Amino acid sequence: MAPLTPERLVFELRAAGDPAIAPDGRWVAFVLAEARPGQRRSTSNIWLVDTASGQLRQLTRAPARDALPRFAPDSRTLAFVSDRSGEPALYLLPLDGGEPRELLRRKRPIVDLAWSPDGSKLVFVSPWAPDDDPARPAEAPPPVRVTRRIDYKQDNRGYLGDLRHHVFVVDVATGEERRLTSLLQDHNFPRWAPDGRSLAVQVANRNGMCSQLAVVDAESGSATIIGPELGNVGTWAWSPDGGRIVYTGDTEQTWQADVWLWERTTGAVRRVTHDLPVLPDAGFPTVQAPSMPVWLDDRRVLFHAIRAGASGHYVIDVETAELTAERTFQGLAAGFATDASARWVVQSFTSFERTGDLLLCDRWTGDQRFLTDLNGALLRETPPARWERFEVERDGLAIEAWLLFPPDFDPSLRYPLVLDVHGGPNGYYGWAFNAWQQLLATNGFLVLYANPRGSSSYGREFTLKVLRDWGGEDYRDLMAVLDRVLERPYVDPARIGIWGYSYGGYMTAWAVSQSDRFAAAVCGAPCFDLESMYGTSDIGHHFGEIQWGGPPWVAREWYQAHSPATFAHRTRTPTLIIHGEADERCPIGQGEQMFVTLLKAGCEVEFARYPDGSHLFLRVGYPDHRCDAYRRLLDWFHCHLGGPQPAGAPGE
């Protein structure tokens, strides 16, 4: 069987993104991106698929980035954003034929879009600052940067100063626009009230670590703020009569949301749930929009959430707090679009067997079907990994884990194994096609991953168990999972590797400083020296105080005892470090410190740096850089671990 290669994963694997369904349920619009070698960015076009026949139709063909397809309330017009003119612009396209009409053009990106209920206006989000001057001459020296605010930069956006996302309204007939918001914080994902007179908007602070909900008057811009400053709001929706807003979030950062209800007439907030067992999908900042809930009637709300690394559709009764699982998957979905009747739900979907496709669910009949098969031919030619799920019990906790096998796995052979640690630490792995896991598994490695304590999607108590214990019980959970798999005769204990990114990079750096059991390591964008990360990361000043027990001058002994930097000089495991040079989350200095420490200690180490690469460059960076990182990951483990061998082969 042919293995998946870095080139195929980056340049051939396709994904249908940002699906939107017409209010009448007839069409689904989605974005299909294409990456080409040698180009700094991907291009994307908008497609339509008929929900009844499955017939595909390409709507746009410009060599540009077309995005954010949004149907008008009458289902006859599609709004979208494109840079085909050389600048971000908003277009309207009649679906019965004709060319797109440019409604407005801007110097800054347009990052979200929504129609008013009567179709006369569009609301959009775009960066703005009081002293914004996007037309600054190219030959002028860069301006001096002076800040008095702690959230002056953000990963994947760079230096911000006072530049923040703001809400604008544009008249569809005239193209006249006006800015609604003025508070110098990010305003995200505006949602119109049913009467069109106001909008519910997320107002983020501390680089998205905290957020509130603002109800903004659509004419005056005056705002009512909901929720505490240090809380968070992830998803929200207006009730059918506009008198209430249901939202998910918490009054402090716990990485687990509950359901809340705001009453418009009184301004009162009521907590609906106290320990929601599922994690509402709030998206991923700067990359993925939240899955907004949908009211089914005046008390039941439908929403997309994750439980134990798997997606599901759930219904909450906001009066009784009764939670019902309407549909669950062995897979992970993104986006959450419904038609006007809430019969149809469409999402992007990935599982171990397929990836990048659109799944359409019929809530009335219970049926579901895929609208696309974008990668079927590729995955038949290069089959994905086989898989097994298992659990390990530790301290009364069930630690969930998955083992991926090469498609042509032969239990009579002995295989090298790579332990892959997820980021976060409050992230999660699960039932999904992961590019680097599939790369390793289809090229002859067993790939092991788990959700140790601290992983989200298992409830608040499990999620919070990692606080002030990095490198403690979380590390021992992972080692217990690894020890369980090493009992199998086809796993070669002398050829074990470890790989992780972000917090996964922390755990990789920690593991190789604590043990010589690993024969090779690849460490991506590590949290290496927690004290320096506190002051240089875009979120360290807030995230670090929650995770690590306070600032360094309060908890210095803890910082030292739990930083890989304290112990890295004893590392002997051959280690590859990969890091984006524009990383603001785990800044490049973290990788630099690790590289110098290992090099001075006489450890075999290599440092791959990716210019302009943010913390998210493996997802949204230059295609050639993503391909290069995958290739280095694979080659490092091939070089130091080898491939499948007959049992009893020399060197075992």
Query: Does 652 have pLDDT greater than 60?
Result: no
Q: What is the pLDDT of residues 525-572, one digit of tens each?
A: 999 999 999 999 999 999 999 999 999 999 999 999 999 999 999 999
Mean pLDDT, rounded, for 72-77: 97
pLDDT at 125: 98
pLDDT at 649: 64
Mean pLDDT, rounded, for 237-254: 97
Mean pLDDT, rounded, for 154-183: 96
Share of the chain above pLDDT 90, in %: 94
Q: What is the pLDDT of residues 365-384, one digit of tens each?
A: 999 999 999 999 999 999 99
pLDDT at 131: 82
Question: Which residues have C-beta within 8 Å of that of residue 177, sequence separation ≥ 6?
Answer: 104, 168, 169, 170, 171
pLDDT at 633: 98
pLDDT at 142: 85
**Rounded Cα distance, 237 and 389, in Å:** 35
Write down the H helix ranges in 309-427.
376-381
Helix or strand (DSSP H, E) at 618: helix 617-620
pLDDT at 137: 81
Query: Does 238 have pLDDT greater than 70?
Result: yes
Query: Does 648 have pLDDT greater than 80?
Result: no
Query: Does 5 have pLDDT greater than 90?
Result: yes
pLDDT at 595: 98
Q: What is the pLDDT of residues 18-41, one digit of tens each?
A: 999 999 999 999 999 999 999 888
Query: Does 651 have pLDDT greater than 80?
Result: no
pLDDT at 41: 85
**Token reading at 262:** 């705001």
Q: What is the pLDDT of residues 91-105, one digit of tens each?
A: 999 998 888 999 999
pLDDT at 90: 97
Question: Is residue 197 very low, low, confident or very high in pLDDT (cuts 50, 70, 90)?
Answer: very high
Mean pLDDT, rounded, for 613-635: 97
pLDDT averaged over every residue in the chain: 96
pLDDT at 134: 63
Instruction: Give 50-59 contacts, CB < 8 A, sequence gap 24+.
Output: 50/26, 51/21, 51/25, 51/26, 51/27, 51/344, 51/360, 51/371, 52/26, 54/371, 56/372, 59/29, 59/93
In terms of Cβ atoms closer than 10 Å to its own Cβ (0-12, 13-18, 19+), residue 342 is: middle
Question: Is residue 478 very low, low, confident or very high in pLDDT (cuts 50, 70, 90)?
Answer: very high
Per-residue CA distances from 571 to 491, 498, 530, 601, 634 (Å): 24, 13, 18, 7, 21
Q: Among candidates 504, 512, 531, which has minimal Cα distance to 593?
A: 531
Q: Among candidates 281, 270, 250, which has minimal Cα distance to 319?
A: 270
pLDDT at 286: 86
Query: Does 138 have pLDDT greater than 90?
Result: no
Question: Is residue 133 very low, low, confident or very high in pLDDT (cuts 50, 70, 90)?
Answer: low
Query: Does 346 have pLDDT greater than 90?
Result: yes
Per-residue CA distances from 390 to 55, 330, 412, 451 (Å): 40, 14, 21, 11
**Rounded Cα distance, 244 and 299, in Å:** 10
pLDDT at 650: 53
pLDDT at 154: 95
- Beta strand 491-501 with 413-421 is parallel
Contact 453, 462 (CB under 8 A): yes
Per-residue CA distances from 411 to 408, 443, 490, 638 (Å): 10, 16, 6, 20
Query: Does 163 have pLDDT greater than 90?
Result: yes
**Rounded Cα distance, 530 and 546, in Å:** 13
- Using only C-alpha atoms, the chain has a radius of gyration, in whole angstroms, of 25
